[in-house]
Amino acid sequence: MSRSDNLVICFDVQEQYYIPQYLSIAQQLSLRGIQVIYVSHDSEFNSFGSEKVMCIPEGENQVDFYNRLSPDWIIIGNTFQGIEKLDNSIKTALVSHGIGPKACYYTVSDTPTTVRFVEGPYRLKRLKEMYPNQKFIDTRYAKLDAAVNGEYSGLKPSDYGLDDNKKTVLYAPAFFPSSIENFSSQFPEDFSEYNILLKPHFFSLSSPKYKKQKEMLENWALSPNVYFAKKEDVNLVPFMAIADVLISDASSALFEFAALDKPVVWCDFYYLRWSYRGPFKFRFRGRMDKDLYEYSDIAKHVGSYQDLKSAVESQLDNPMEYSEIRKRYTLNLSGVVDGKASQRIADYLLQNCSAP
């Protein structure tokens, strides 16, 4: 297909943690000779790895910026204020920044994009029912392509300063609701026979609201069996590739790791702010999608930190215990995981562009 001449496709980086959703897609486009531009909303975020990032100039809104740049496609990861004011020649596509159990996975389609790429038949059906006038294409989940295709097969714990002879535990909690505050300050010592990869949500490290989470994580990072992923380590996928078991809570990471058919321990001991407790608990229920409860048996649950280690040990000893459930639910939440989602998305973008 020879449509690459002069084509420009932008990836809108409203938040740094959207980048892992984009990487495999951008790689596919670059291999086909397409000019790919990452566009940051943060003037301080002007590069990651070897990739250069174009920043929206201070004082210029995103609509005016994109109308001036005039790309063929803008790929977004969340809402886009003023999308209806973009020039008619610019097409837009939504690649959701996660597949977790939050209601915003669906309601983000309140932003009317040209197309939304969707992960599997269940979510395709539900989105079509909610937004009958919008266009949805089932391409499956591109973020996991690199792991499925073995791009991180050479990674070892020692690449992160850890012990290759130990099993590796990945702790990847959400920022809210989160289990971090209900963990012990002795977490690394309690799990001293394991490597621990700490990969918190970006907001746990960057938002002043979650400074207590950051302080606890930094304290754990002092232990020799811990690698603490910094803000620059935006991509969770390499950590998932080398980990033997995941500890998480109500996050996309939980379903992503399960989609790789690896064992998950789900922490039910969330820390809730007072405005989400007691008579206000309806706010918590409203924040979480019904998928949280329908697919909860995809993992082994623990109700307290005191039960965590035995749960981790049982999953390491019996990693296939939940395998059939993981495979069944993954089909609904992310579709068949075959490592080709980014190819499908790239094909669609190039087949549906305005360039000759």
Could you tell me if 206 and 240 lie in one domain?
yes
Strand pairing of 47-48 and 51-55? antiparallel
Report d(CA 95, CA 18) in Å as an integer. Answer: 9
Percentage, residues of the chain above pLDDT 70 = 90
Q: Let me know if 211 is exposed, middle or buried by CB neighbors in 10 A (0-12, 13-18, 19+).
A: exposed
Instruction: Report if residue 356 sits inside a domain.
Output: no
Could you tell me if 86 and 112 lie in one domain?
yes
Cβ–Cβ < 8 Å for 259, 141: yes
- The candidate with the shortest Cα–Cα distance to 34, out of 344, 339, 348, 350, is 350
Domain count, the chain: 2
> For the residues 127-139, what does the mean pLDDT come to?
96
For residue 213 the two structure tokens come to 């989470």
- Is it the case that residue 31 has pLDDT exceeding 90? yes
In this prediction, residue 273 has a pLDDT band, given cuts at 50, 70 and 90, of very low
> For the residues 277-301, what does the mean pLDDT come to?
62
Q: What is the mean pLDDT of the chain?
A: 88
Could you tell me if 172 and 223 lie in one domain?
yes
Crossing angle of helices 323-333 and 252-259, in 10° steps, is 120
> Which 3-state string (H, E, C) describes 60-104?
CCHHHHHHHHCCCEEEECCCCCCHHHCCCCCEEEEECCCCCCECH
Could you tell me if 308 and 325 lie in one domain?
yes
- 40-90, pLDDT tens digit by residue? 998 877 777 667 789 999 999 999 999 999 999 999 999 999 999 999 999
State the pTM of this model. 0.88
Could you tell me if 163 and 287 lie in one domain?
yes
- The candidate with the shortest Cα–Cα distance to 124, out of 294, 328, 286, 335, is 335
Could you tell me if 108 and 165 lie in one domain?
no
Which phi and psi angles does 177 have, rounded to 5°? -70, 145
Cβ–Cβ < 8 Å for 48, 16: yes
- The candidate with the shortest Cα–Cα distance to 123, out of 346, 264, 291, 274, is 291
- Is it the case that residue 279 has pLDDT exceeding 60? no
Q: How far is CA 338 from the centre of its chain?
A: 18
Domain range for residue 125? Answer: 8-147+339-351
Could you tell me if 134 and 158 lie in one domain?
no
pLDDT (0 to 100) of residue 184: 96
CATH code (residue 141) = 3.40.50.2000
- Amino acid 168 reads T
Instruction: Report if residue 13 sits inside a domain.
Output: yes
> For the residues 32-44, what does the mean pLDDT come to?
92
- 149-182, pLDDT tens digit by residue? 999 999 999 999 999 999 999 999 987 778 899 9
Report d(CA 280, CA 123) in Å as an integer. Answer: 29
**H-helix segments, the chain:** 19-31, 62-69, 104-107, 121-130, 145-148, 187-190, 202-206, 211-220, 237-242, 252-259, 281-287, 291-294, 308-317, 323-333, 341-351
pLDDT (0 to 100) of residue 188: 98
First-to-final CA distance of the chain = 11
Instruction: Report if residue 2 sits inside a domain.
Output: no
Least trusted range by pLDDT, from 68-77, 93-102, 192-201 = 93-102
- Amino acid 306 reads Q
Could you tell me if 318 and 175 lie in one domain?
yes
Local structure of 178: helix, strand or coil: strand
For residue 178 the two structure tokens come to 């989160």
CATH code (residue 241) = 3.40.50.12580
- 324-356, pLDDT tens digit by residue? 999 998 988 888 999 999 999 999 999 998 643
Cβ–Cβ < 8 Å for 138, 121: yes
Top-confidence residue, 129 or 331 = 129
